[in-house]
Homo-oligomer: A and B are copies of this chain.
Amino acid sequence: MEPDLSIVLLKGVSCEVKKNVLIIGAGGVAQVVAHKAAMSNDALGDIHIASRTVDKCHQIVQSVLEKRSLKMPGVLQAHQLDALDIAATKALIEKTRAQIVINVGSAFINMSVLEACMQTGAAYIDTAIHEDPKKICETPPWYGNYEWKRAELCEKRGITAILGAGFDPGVVNSYAALAAEQYFDTIESIDIIDVNAGSHGKYFATNFDPEINFREFTGRVWSWQDRQWTQNQMFEVKRTDDLPVVGEQTTYMTGHDEIHSLSKNLDVPNIRFWMGFGERYINVFTVLKNLGLLSEQPITTAEGQEVVPLKVVKAVLPDPSSLAPDYSGKTCIGDLVKGTKDGVEREVFIYNVADHEESYGEVGSQAISYTAGVPPVAAALLIANGKWDVKRMANIEELTPQPFIELLDGMGLPTRIRDENGDRALTIETPEPAAAKAKLAMAH
């Protein structure tokens, strides 16, 4: 075996530019990550894609080549990997000399992939919180049950691990940090609103893995209100907003990853997440949930077969990546922030609007995958150029928001702002570093 120079460099030198990306997962989000990483392969180096089903990786490679997404000639390779197998994951990181791992596989594999990164020194990025297949809606803060338990060791070993770097969680955390830094002195509430006003034309489908999708909503709804964890039932609390581009939309209070880090990292008494659901979704969800078909716990059929109902539901539903070609309409995701600035009460909505057809045209995925897949590549670029190579575990709101939001603007996810001065593109102002640091420190 030839000596692995990159690993040697990684261990010994901290100022080198990190290169070579290993993408784990091969769904709709991974497709976007692969395209976007390929478009920046001058900065990111070799691109590797690994999944349990290697055929899906080959299809992504094929799509990247067909759409000529590689910025310059370079390595683009598919691998078979069971990412629950730490030794195999470690071996693949070493074999590919990947210094950045983007984990966009199932939420069940976070902890094993993180462990493999910690053993090799590679930087780790994911887009959703770790989940135990047998548990739903654990005690908040959810990060405290899994990822944060490794924070101390990450810092000790100088491992960069960026958690929740999709759109929500991810970009919305950065919007919150930016609001805290630039637009408010004190924040009373952050309401993260996620609306998909698009249409896939099917009777029913979920926009990402149905298993993960339903798991988000079958348990209790946790929100952060009056600086306390508050419980509600799904579809119990709703609101209606007149949103930019997508118009009047009803959204429902939902449990979501970002509440669990924002409530720790920002000094904000009320942080809630709201998701838009159509009547069809609510009806199908209600029927399936009431019948017990969304259960993650195995049941036994009359014939004695042991089956997890949720996995059967997943198997009969359309593959989310199959929806992209016929998807039309737009998404609108943003942070509605209320508080005071210079003694005056104000309300600011920082948001992005994405278009399903445009996303599909560019990278072969719909806008839900697009909004989730572009940000981790932006995070990878910020690790590669050192700006976010923080040598510790961090949620997005702990990292300087400006370069991230600026990068996203050029990568297809422009940020807009609506406040008392109207609705416009958000212009990045360089912050005063000392002031920003002081504000973040307040929450600790």
Contact = CB atoms under 8 A, between A and B. Distances in A.
B287 A315 contact: no
Given A283-B287, A293-B293, A316 B311 contact: no
A9 interface: no
Contacts of A303: 311
Nearest to A314: B302
A302 B293 contact: no
A315 B301 contact: yes
16 contacts: A203-B290, A203-B291, A204-B290, A204-B291, A283-B287, A284-B287, A284-B291, A287-B287, A288-B291, A293-B293, A293-B312, A295-B316, A299-B316, A302-B311, A302-B315, A307-B315
A291 B317 contact: yes
A316 B302 contact: no
Contacts of A288: 287, 291
Contacts of A283: 283, 287
A74 interface: no
A313 B290 contact: no
A301 B312 contact: yes
B302 A312 contact: no
Interface in A270-311: 283-284, 287-288, 290-293, 295, 299-303, 305, 307, 309, 311
Name the interface size band of chain A. Answer: 20 to 34
A299 B301 CA distance: 15
A25 to B, nearest CB: 13
A315 B315 CA distance: 17
Contacts of A305: 307, 311
Contacts of A309: 312, 316
A312 B307 contact: yes
Given A283-B283, A287-B284, A292 B316 contact: yes
A155 B156 CA distance: 88
A90 to B, nearest CB: 24
A313 B299 CA distance: 10
What number of copies of this chain does the assembly contain?
Answer: 2
Nearest to A315: B301
Contacts of A204: 287, 290-291
Nearest to A293: B316
Nearest to A202: B290
A57 to B, nearest CB: 16
Given A283-B287, A291-B313, 20 more contacts: A203-B290, A203-B291, A204-B287, A204-B290, A204-B291, A284-B287, A284-B291, A287-B287, A287-B288, A288-B291, A291-B317, A293-B293, A293-B313, A299-B312, A299-B316, A300-B315, A302-B314, A303-B311, A307-B307, A309-B312
Nearest to A53: B302
A283 to B, nearest CB: 7
Contacts of A295: 316
Contacts of A311: 301-303, 305
B287 A314 contact: no
A302 B26 CA distance: 14
Contacts of A312: 293, 299, 301, 307, 309, 312
A301 B307 CA distance: 10
Nearest to A299: B315
A134 to B, nearest CB: 14
Contacts of A316: 291-293, 295, 299, 309
Interface string A206-248: 0000010000000000000000000000000000000000000
Contacts of A302: 211, 311, 314-315
A212 to B, nearest CB: 12
Nearest to A287: B287
Interface centre among A211, A300, A301 (most CB of B within 10 A): A301
A301 B284 contact: no
A283 B279 CA distance: 13
A302 B287 CA distance: 23
Contacts of A315: 299-302, 307
A313 to B, nearest CB: 7
